[in-house]
Structure 1
Amino acid sequence: MFAAWVVRLRWVVVGFWLAVTIAGAVFGGGLFDRLSSTGTNRPDSESAVGQRHIDELTPTGSQVFAVVEGADPYDPGLVASIGSAAQEIRAMPGIKEVNDLYTGVGGRIGADNRSVSVQVELQPGLADAPREALEDRVRARLERIQAPSVQVGGDKLAERAFADQSVHDLAIGESIAFAALLVALYLFFGGFLAAALPLAVTVASVTGSLLVLLGLSHATKVSEYSLNVVTLLGIGLAVDYSLLIVARYREERLHHEPAEALRVAVRRAGRAVAISGLAVTLTLAGLTAFAEPLLAAVALGGAAVVALATLSALTLVPALISLTGDRIKPATTVRWGGLLARLAARAQRDPSRVALLATIGLLVLAAPLLGANLANSDARALPSSNEARRAYDVMESKFLNDTPPTVSVLLQAGPERADVRDLMNRIAGQLSAEVLRQDVRADVPAGWTILDLTPKGGVGDRQSYDLVRNVRALPTPYAKWVTGPAAEVVDYRDSLAGRLPAAALVVLIVTVVLLFWLTGSVVIPLKAVLMNLLTLAATLGVLIVVFQWGWGQVPLFFDSWGGLDLTTPVLLFVFIFGLSMDYEVFLLARIKEEYDHRPDTDRAVLRGITRSGPVVTAAAVCIGIVFLGFAVGGLVAVKEIGVGMAVAILLDVTVVRGLLLPALMGMLDRWNWWPRKS
C-alpha cells in the first residue's frame, strides 16, 4: 500500500525533496551565522549559580593575552615594542586594563627567562559583536609586537577558534565522506545508477537537516559541536537506510518484475528502516533526560535529523527507483558478505566456546575504562596548529607551571567575621593535602568573601575534584558556593550520573518494545541490550587507549590532553544503541523471515545472515567511511565521536553480529522466540 502510494505520487515526492534540497542549499547557510557556544552544565548547578554571583559582584571582561618568546625580556627593542603596543591598546575604546612587564603590574617573565606575557582585559558587559571586533583589534596589535614569536589567545578567542574549526571540519568531513561513499557504493552495486540513489538521499537529508537545525536555532541554541555530531549521524543513517532498500530491491528483481520487486522491497526492508529510524529517534530523545544544554541541543537536533533521514529513505528511494524503470539491474553476485556468513558458521559449530571467547575479548578491550579521566575539553581540543591552542600551551607551561585552575569559593559573609576565618583555617588544615595556596580576592563588596584555592597536582588531576567535594562538605552558617572549572566537571559528572538511569530506561524500553514488535520475542531484545552494552564498553576502552593514553596521536594527528571529553561517553551510549539497532533489525528481520518459513533456529540464523550479510557489511563500510571522514578534522572531541563510532561499527558487525549473535541464538535455540510459540 505504501509503496503503491509513493509510486503513484513519485513526481510529487521527488519534487518535494528537490525543493527541500534547493531550500537547504539556499537558506541553510544562515544556520552558520546563528551557531553559538553551548554550556555543558545546567544553569541551576552550584558552579553555574556561584559563577553568576561572582560575575555580578566582581564583573570581569573578556581576557586576551599574548606570550612573547625568543628574546631577552629586557632587550631595548622588545621593551619599546611591547610598551608601544600596550599604549595603543589602552587608548582603544572598551579596554579596561592592560598589564605587561614594563608599564603594568600583571606582566611576567616565563620559566625559560626568554618569554614575557601581556594581559588585556576588555570592559565587562560588551555585546558579542563589538566585543569580538575589539578582540580582533587587540589581537592584531599584539601580533605586531617585534619579537621572534608572538602567540595570542584567550577564552573567547578559543571559543571562536573552536567554532571556525568546527565549520571547517564539517566541510572537509562531508567532502571526504561523499567521495569515498561514491567509490564504495559503486563497488558494492557494480553500477553508477544504483550507487547514486543513496547519495541522492544523503544530499537531500543533509540539506534538509540544515533547514531543520536553522528552525531549531530560533527556539534553542545550536552549537558548533552539536552541528558536527548531528550532521555526521544524519549522513550515516541516510546512507544506511537507502542502501538497505536499494539492495533489497535488487535482490527481489531476481524473482519479480520491477513493480512487484519494489513493493516487496519497501514492505520488507522499509519496515526494518521504519523500526530502526523510530528506535534511533526515540533513543536520541532519551538524551533530554540529562537536561544539560549541550546534550539537549544534540537530542533535539539529532532526533529531528534522524526522522528526516528515515522519511527521505522511505519515500525518495522508492520514488527514484520507480523512475528508473528496469535500469537498476538485479543482484548478480554476492559482494562483501562472505565474512559474516563464515563467522556465523564458525560460531554455530561451537557456540558456547565462541560466546565465551567473544565476551572475554570485548571485556579485555573495555578494561582501560577503569582508569578513565573524563573532563570538559578546553583549548586543548583545538589542533596544535591553531594560534589560540599554541598560546594556551605556552601560557600553561612557561607562566603557570601547569598549575590547575583555581577553585573559587563564594561566601555570603565578610572576611572580617570569625567564622569566615575559621573556615579558612579548616581549609588550610584539613585540606592541606589538596590545597597548594589560598588567597582572599580583593575588591569584593562588603558582606561577601571570595576565596581562590589553588589545588595541588596538575591540570585535570584528581586533587582538584576532591578539593571541590571536600570544600562543599564543610558546614558553614552562611551560604557557600564552590565554582570554577573543576567544580563544573564535578557538577556535570554528578548530573549525568544522577540522570543516567532515566536515560538508560528510555533506551531499554525503546529497544525492547520495538524489537518485540519485530520478532514477538522478549529474549531477543534483552540479549540485544546486553550485546550493545558490551560494544559500548569495548569502544570506550579503545578510546581511552587512543585518546587518553595518546596511542593514536600520530595516525590521527592530534595531541593528547590526557583524557576524554565528558560528553563523548554519553553521546556514544545513545548513538551506539541507536545505530546497533540498524544491524540488529536488518539481520533479525531476515532471520525471522527464515524462521517463519521453517522454525529451525540454526538454519534461520545462518540463512538470514548469509542473505543479509552483504548489505549489512556494505552499510557498515559506508557508515564507517562517514565517521572516519569526520575523524580527520581538527577538533579532538569530534575525532573521539568519529573514531568511537567507527570502532563500534567494526566490533558490532564482526564480533557481535558475526560471532556473538549466532552463538547465543544457537545456545538458546527455541528460547530465543519466547513467549512466541513456534
Structure 2
Amino acid sequence: MFESLGRFVARRRGLVLAVWVVALVVGVGAGGQLFDRLRPVDALSADAEAARAERLVTEHSADGPVVYAVIRDVDLTSPDLVRSVTDTATELRKLPGVVKVEDPFTTRGAPTGADDRSTMVLVELAEDLAPAKLESLEDQVRNRLHRIQAPSVLVGGDHLAERAFGEQAVRDLAVGESVAFALLLVALIVVFGGVVAAGLPLAAAVVGVSVTFLVLLAVSLLGPVGEFSLNIVTLLGLGLAVDYALLIVARYREELAGGTDPETAVATAMRHAGRAVAISGLAVAVALAGLAMFAEPLLASMAVGGLVVVLLVTALALTLVPALIVTARRHIPAAGAETWVTRALARLRWLPRGSVLARLAGTAQRRPSVVALLVTVGLLVLAAPLLGANFANSDARALPSSVEERRAYDARQALFTRGEAAPVTVVATVDPTTPQARDYLNDLMKLPGVVRLTLRDEVDAGTVIIDLTPAGATAGEQSRAVVRAVRADRPAFPVLVGGEAAKVVDYQDSVVGRLPYVVAAVVLAMLILLYALTDSLVVPVKAMLLNALTFLATLGALVVVFQWGWGEPILRFDSWGALDLTTPLLLFVFIFGLSMDYEVFLLSRIREEYLTRPDNDRAVLRGITRSGPVVTAAAVCITIVFLGFATGGLVAVKEIGVGMAIAVILDVTVVRGLLLPAVMTLLGDLNWWAPRALARRRAQSPVARGTARVPGR
C-alpha cells in the first residue's frame, strides 16, 4: 500500500505539490484571522460545582470584575498623593460601566499596606459587559490609574491577568517558532549534508501549521478556540513534521546509497519509513482523541487543535514529502556521500563517530540483567519526587515577573493579604436570620484549617455568601481539605462550594474519574497498532511499560525543576510551588504518542532484521545500529523544537517544552539505547511470541519466506 502510494506521488508530484501550495496560500491568507478570534477557555466544565458556585456568586451579589492599583513607596499623608488619587477616583467614577471606586482618601474602603507606605485603589466594573467592551473599559481604567503621581503604580486584576496570559502565549509562540526554526535549519543541514535536503522537513512543518490555523479558524466559528491551542499546534506541528520528514528522507538516502534509482528509492522508503510514520501518526491521533474524552473545555480545545495538526502532518509526510524528494532529487545526497558539510565536520575531530545508540545497545546486550536493573531503578528514583507533587490552576504567578499583572499580584499578596490563601467561597440558599443559618455558620468556623469566616454584604435576600480563609497556601492541601470538609457535611438547605481550591478539587475529581477510561482507550489502541507493526503480543506490552517509566521519570524531574524551583536560574522563571493542572495530562498524551515515533522506527527495523534471520540478539543490535543515526538525529531535532518553546515566558508552556525535551532525551538514550535492548535480550525469542494464526501470517510474508523457524504456538 505505502509503496504504491510512493510511486503514485512520484509520478503525480506536480499535482500533489499544487494541492498543498494552494492549501498553504489559503492557510496563510485566512489563518491569520484566527488570532483575532482566540478567547480564554475555562479549565473547568460548566457543570462542576465550583463553576456553578461562581455563577451563583455573580447572580446574587453586586460583585463584578475588579481592577486594582497597588500604590507603593509613598507618604500616605502627602497632599500631592491625596490630590492625585482623589482626582483619579473622581474621573473613574464618571466612566460608563464603572460601578464602584474605593480609595483611601474619599471612601476609606482601600487598605493600607503592611509597610505603611503603600495603599490601593479598587475599581469594580459592571458584571454584564460584553468581552470587547470590558477590555476597552479595563484599558481606560488602567490608563487613568497610571496617572496617579507615585513612584510605583502597578495595575492588575483577575481578568487583566487572563488577558496577559493570552498575549504572552502569542509572544511565546513567535519566540518559540523563531528559535526552533533557526536551530532546526542548522541541525538538519548537518544531518542531511545540504541546504535543500534540510529544507524539506521545514517546508512540511510550515505547510502543516499554516493549514491547521485555517482549519482552527473554521472550528472557531462553531465554538471557542483557546490561546494555548496555538502553542500546542505549533509544538506538535513543528516537532512531528520534522520527525516524520526526517525518517522518510533518511530512508530514501539510505536506499540511494545502495544504488537504487530515485523513484524506486522513494517507493522503498515509503514501504518502510512511510508505514512507520502512518502508524506513529495514528498513535498520536488516538492519544489526542483520548485527551478529548476529558470533559474540561481547555483540554478539549487543546485536543482538537492537536488532533487536526497531527492528521495534517501525517498526510503531509506521506504525500508532500515524497513529492518534494523526487522534485529535488538532484540536490539530495545519498547516505554517506561526501558534501561540503561532511568535509567540514570531518575537520572537527572531537565529534563522536558512529552511532551512539548502537554503542549503548552493545553495552546493554553484554550485561542485560545489570543494565535493566540499574536503568529501571534510576528511572524510579527520578520519578520519586512525584510523590510530593502539587498540581494547581495557573494564576498570575505563572506569568513572567516582567509582566505588570504579575508584579501587581505579588505586591498585593505581600503587602495586603499577608500571604493568606484565597478564600473558599460557600454559597448557601437560606435566610441568614434563621437558626439553621446561624448554626451552619458556627459549624463552618469549627472546621479544622479555617482561619477566618467573613460574610459578604450587598447580597440578594435568601442567599448567604461566606468566605472561609483557610490556613496554608492558595489551593494548597489545607485549602483543599477545607473544601472537602464543607462538602462532606451538607446542611438541609442547598449549598455550593467554590473558590480556587474548589476548582482544583473539582478538576482533580473529574480527571481521576475519567482517567482509567482514557488510559485504557489510549493504551489499547497503541497495543493494537504495535501488534499490527510487529506481529507480536510481547513487544507492545513491553513498549507500554517502558513508556510508563519515561512518563513517571519526566514528571518527577519536572517537580524538581519547577515545583522545587531548581531550574529557576537556567530557565529564568519564578517558581510558584506547583505544576499546572494540565501538565501531567498533556505530557501523558505527548509522551505516549510521540515516543511511538522512535518505538515504531526502531521496532520496524528490528523486525525487518528478524524476519530475514530469526536471531533475536542479532536483529536487535543490527536494527538499532541501522536506525540509530536517524533516530538520534530526529531526537535532536524534536528536542530543539521543545526547548525553543521553553524560552517563552509562561511557566505552563515552559513545563510542557522542558518536560517533552526531558522525555525525548530519556527515551532515546536511557530507554531505547539501554533498557530496550537489555530487556529484548533477556526475553530472547519470546519477544516475537504470537498465536498460531499470527505466526503463520508472518511466516508467509515475502521477507520471512524460506527463512528459519518462526516462534509461535
Residue 382 of structure 1 corresponds to 399
Residue among 48, 53, 61 paired with 1:50: 53
Residue among 519, 525, 547 paired with 2:540: 525
User: What CA deviation, in whole Å up to 9, does each residue of 1:17-36 have, x standing for no partner?
Assistant: 11122112111111111111
The answer to whether the 8 Å contact 2:193/2:333 transfers is no
The answer to whether the 8 Å contact 1:220/1:297 transfers is no
User: What CA deviation, in whole Å up to 9, does each residue of 1:566-603 have, x standing for no partner?
Assistant: 10001000100000101100100100000000001110
Q: Distance in 1 between matches of 2:111 and 2:454?
A: 19
Structure 1 position 608, deviation (Å) = 0.4
Normalising to structure 1: TM-score of the pair? 0.98
The answer to whether the 8 Å contact 1:17/1:204 transfers is yes
| Map 1:81-96 → 2, pairs under 5 A | 81-96=84-99
The answer to whether the 8 Å contact 1:337/1:610 transfers is no
Q: SS at the partner of 1:326?
A: helix
Any unmatched runs of 5+ in structure 2? 343-351, 696-709
The amino acid that maps onto 2:118 is S
Structure 1 position 225, deviation (Å) = 1.4
RMSD (Å), alpha carbons: 1.2
Structure 1 position 208, deviation (Å) = 1.1
Q: Is 1:234 aligned with 2:237? A: yes
Residue 443 of structure 1 corresponds to 458
Q: Distance in 1 between matches of 2:373 and 2:109?
A: 62
Residue 559 of structure 2 corresponds to 544
The amino acid that maps onto 2:187 is A
Residue 23 of structure 2 corresponds to 20
Q: Is 1:369 aligned with 2:386? A: yes
The amino acid that maps onto 2:79 is P
**Higher mean C-alpha deviation, range 252-261 or range 581-590:** 252-261
The amino acid that maps onto 1:291 is A
User: What CA deviation, in whole Å up to 9, does each residue of 1:148-206 have, x standing for no partner?
Assistant: 11100011111111111111110110011111000000011111111111111111111
The amino acid that maps onto 1:311 is A
Q: SS at the partner of 2:331?
A: coil
The answer to whether the 8 Å contact 2:58/2:127 transfers is no
| Map 1:249-648 → 2, pairs under 5 A | 249-255=252-258, 256-332=260-336, 338-429=355-446, 431=447, 433-648=448-663
Structure 1 position 451, deviation (Å) = 1.3
Q: Distance in 1 between matches of 2:444 and 2:151?
A: 44
Residue 202 of structure 1 corresponds to 205
Q: Distance in 1 between matches of 2:301 and 2:96?
A: 36
Q: Distance in 1 between matches of 2:355 and 2:493?
A: 70
| Map 1:216-235 → 2, pairs under 5 A | 216-235=219-238
Q: SS at the partner of 1:554?
A: helix
Residue 40 of structure 2 corresponds to 37
Q: Distance in 2 between matches of 1:223 and 1:37?
A: 5
Structure 1 position 325, deviation (Å) = 3.4
| Map 1:87-166 → 2, pairs under 5 A | 87-166=90-169
Any unmatched runs of 5+ in structure 1? none
Q: Distance in 1 between matches of 2:424 and 2:41?
A: 22
Q: Distance in 2 between matches of 1:300 and 1:170?
A: 18
The amino acid that maps onto 1:304 is V
Residue 699 of structure 2 corresponds to none
Q: Distance in 2 between matches of 1:460 and 1:488?
A: 8
**Higher mean C-alpha deviation, range 229-238 or range 275-284:** 229-238
Q: SS at the partner of 2:38?
A: coil
Normalising to structure 2: TM-score of the pair? 0.94
Q: Is 1:69 aligned with 2:86? A: no
Q: Distance in 1 between matches of 2:442 and 2:617?
A: 71
Q: SS at the partner of 1:391?
A: helix
The answer to whether the 8 Å contact 2:24/2:210 transfers is yes
Structure 1 position 227, deviation (Å) = 1.5
Structure 1 position 59, deviation (Å) = 4.0
Q: SS at the partner of 1:476?
A: coil
Structure 1 position 416, deviation (Å) = 1.5
The answer to whether the 8 Å contact 1:10/1:319 transfers is yes
Q: SS at the partner of 2:492?
A: coil
The count of aligned residue pairs is 676
The answer to whether the 8 Å contact 1:553/1:559 transfers is yes
The amino acid that maps onto 1:344 is A
Structure 1 position 618, deviation (Å) = 0.5
Q: SS at the partner of 1:248?
A: helix
User: What CA deviation, in whole Å up to 9, does each residue of 1:304-359 have, x standing for no partner?
Assistant: 11000100111011101111233312101799761100000000001111000000
